Amino acid sequence: MKRRIAIFGSTGSIGTQAVDVIANNSDIFSLEVLSAHSNADLLIAQAKQYHPNIVIITDESKYEKVNSALENDNIKVYAGEKALVDIAGSDTYDVLLAAIVGYAGLASTLAAIEQGKTIALANKETLVVAGDIVTAMAKEKNALILPVDSEHSAIFQCLVGENNNPIEKIILTASGGPFLGKKPNYLINVKKDHALQHPNWTMGAKISIDSASLMNKGLEMIEAKWLFGLQNEQIEIIVHPQSVIHSMVQFEDGSMKAQMGLPDMKLPIQYALAYPQRVKNDFKRLQFKNYPSLTFEPADIKTFRNLALAKDAMFKGGNSPCILNAANEIVVEAFIKNKISFLEMSDIIETCLEKLTFIEKPSLNDYIQSNRETRDFASSLIK
Ligand code: NAD
Ligand code: MG
């Protein structure tokens, strides 16, 4: 039996790479569902090439275009956010690759977990916003969450075969992004074009800005906490500019395992989709001779304040990470639109964390409301 895959966010950086991985392994995977927000042209092209059973366009104004283009292709076309939730909860697929960016990925991922589906999770924001609820529901419904984020895939791969041997700590590696080594007097002037240029990875716009500001590593700390059931103190960050060691686990006997490879998201995508199988491929191989030195340095959290803010939010807990995430989504969008400067992003996130109501044990509805209130408040701080 082939594994039936749904890709939510199929037109994005992760989504398009996942489509390739599936197409190259059509003996073990079948592509059943594709979704996109507004890139109707690419969604139509993917549908015509790979013939899924279902496509979803969440931007309803694009429905007519997609529907008429696929009229004769025997593909069901749905529109709107609710369609994501409905299809996520249906028996039309086995594994959901959650590759929507941001808070927008939460509801459909929860709907899939509710049905006990396997989730290949790229959408880290889901765990940042509501990690306690998401992981508790996954446990209750026996839904497996397999990380796609390269650092978390690395840790997951290090843990396979360890039979719950206790972890002393995990070490998440960070590339440092395009502004590694820079100070505030440089960052004050940087523009989006520079921030979008990551030295090692090609990614969607939001995560590229997050990588430049180190918010990505902050979100990944919180993601790791929930994925691996860790205490806050067990999570460390180290800057490793070559992005060859994808992360490390240290066990209670002091032994440390690392997972290594070239920076290529197709590998963690393939690993999550095919888990527990390792599938032969022709991806470029890591050669040590091309990396005569692997280097490590502490993160500069005085300059890259987002990492400090994320760490504080993780330690404070409750709805703080949800506020952090919502504020971050608003400021990243504003930075991309040249409405605020690079350093103002941290100022606004900090103000949101100070001003919005703290809830110690939030319900799902509390998270939904915190997200909405934070977005409104953060937007009001942007002229
Ligand atoms: P992207 O911007 O390239 O793609 C996002 C996808 O989500 C697109 O298909 C888009 O149509 C869809 N989308 C956007 N807004 C939506 C909305 N409101 N409703 C429904 N769908 C919507 O992003 P990406 O870089 O592929 O990242 C996707 C997720 O994977 C993010 O959470 C990111 O943090 C995570 N991730 C990405 C990478 C990477 O290399 N790109 C690595 C690790 C983790
Ligand atoms: Mg990552």
Pair 179, 204 in one domain? yes
Measure 48 CA to ligand 2 centroid, in angstroms. Answer: 31
Pair 192, 81 in one domain? no
- Are 200 and 289 in contact by the 8 Å Cβ rule? The answer is no
Atom number of ligand 1 nearest to Cα 201: 40
In short, whether 33's Cβ falls inside 6 Å of ligand 1 is no
Final residue before a domain boundary, out of 316, 335, 354: 316
- Ligand 1 mutation pick, 63, 207, 330, 371, max ligand atoms within 8 A of CB: 207
Domain assignment present for residue 262? The answer is yes
- Are 380 and 339 in contact by the 8 Å Cβ rule? The answer is no
pTM score of the predicted model: 0.98
Listed residue (224, 220, 196) closest to 208, CA to CA: 196
Domain assignment present for residue 247? The answer is yes
∠ Cα 295 298 303 (to 5°): 125
Please report where in the chains the tokens 């977005």 appear, as a residue. Answer: 375
Pair 180, 139 in one domain? no
Measure 114 CA to ligand 2 centroid, in angstroms. Answer: 26
Atom number of ligand 1 nearest to Cα 219: 34
**Rounded CA separation 162/139 (Å):** 20
In short, whether 223's Cβ falls inside 6 Å of ligand 1 is no
Q: In DSSP terms, which residues pair with 77 in a beta bridge? A: 55
Pair 78, 103 in one domain? yes
- Name the domain count of the chain: 2
In short, whether 104's Cβ falls inside 6 Å of ligand 1 is yes
Q: How far is CA 374 from CA 122, 226, 331, 334, in A?
A: 23, 22, 11, 14
Pair 166, 59 in one domain? no
Pair 128, 173 in one domain? no
Pair 9, 140 in one domain? yes
Pair 215, 291 in one domain? yes
Residue 224's pLDDT is what? 99
Atom number of ligand 1 nearest to Cα 124: 32
Final residue before a domain boundary, out of 316, 342, 368: 316
Domain assignment present for residue 353? The answer is no
Give CA 312 to chain center in angstroms.
20
Final residue before a domain boundary, out of 147, 163, 192: 147
Residue 200's pLDDT is what? 87
Q: What is the dihedral of CA 36, 39, 42, 48, to 10 degrees?
A: 60
Pair 171, 310 in one domain? yes
Domain assignment present for residue 277? The answer is yes
Alpha carbon nearest to ligand 1 atom 21, residue: 37
Domain assignment present for residue 301? The answer is yes
Q: CATH no. for residue 127?
A: 3.40.50.720
**Rounded CA separation 52/293 (Å):** 45
Domain assignment present for residue 327? The answer is no
Pair 185, 305 in one domain? yes
Q: Which ligand is nearest to the CA of 7?
A: 1
The residues whose Cβ lies within 5 A of ligand 2, an ion, are 149-151
Residue 201's pLDDT is what? 84
Residue 324's pLDDT is what? 99
Q: DSSP letters of 249-311?
A: EEETTS-EEEEE--S-THHHHHHHHHTT------PPPP-GGG-S----B---TTTSHHHHHHH
Pair 75, 131 in one domain? yes
Domain assignment present for residue 344? The answer is no
- Ligand 1 mutation pick, 7, 13, 333, max ligand atoms within 8 A of CB: 13
Pair 273, 302 in one domain? yes
Measure 251 CA to ligand 1 centroid, in angstroms. Answer: 33
Q: Tens of pLDDT along the chain (383 residues)?
A: 999 999 999 999 999 999 999 999 999 999 999 999 999 999 999 999 999 999 999 999 999 999 999 999 999 999 999 999 999 999 999 999 999 999 999 999 999 999 999 999 999 999 999 999 999 999 999 999 999 999 999 999 999 999 999 999 999 999 999 999 999 999 999 999 999 998 888 899 999 999 999 999 999 999 999 999 999 999 999 999 999 999 999 999 999 999 999 999 999 999 999 999 999 999 999 999 999 999 999 999 999 999 999 999 999 999 999 999 999 999 999 999 999 999 999 999 999 999 999 999 999 999 999 999 999 999 999 98
Residue 246's pLDDT is what? 98
Residue range of the domain that includes 104: 3-147
Alpha carbon nearest to ligand 1 atom 41, residue: 203
Domain assignment present for residue 359? The answer is no
Listed residue (105, 141, 150, 378) closest to 263, CA to CA: 150
Q: DSSP letters of 224-266?
A: HHHHHT--GGGEEEEE-TT--EEEEEEETTS-EEEEE--S-TH
- Ligand 1 mutation pick, 8, 14, 173, max ligand atoms within 8 A of CB: 14
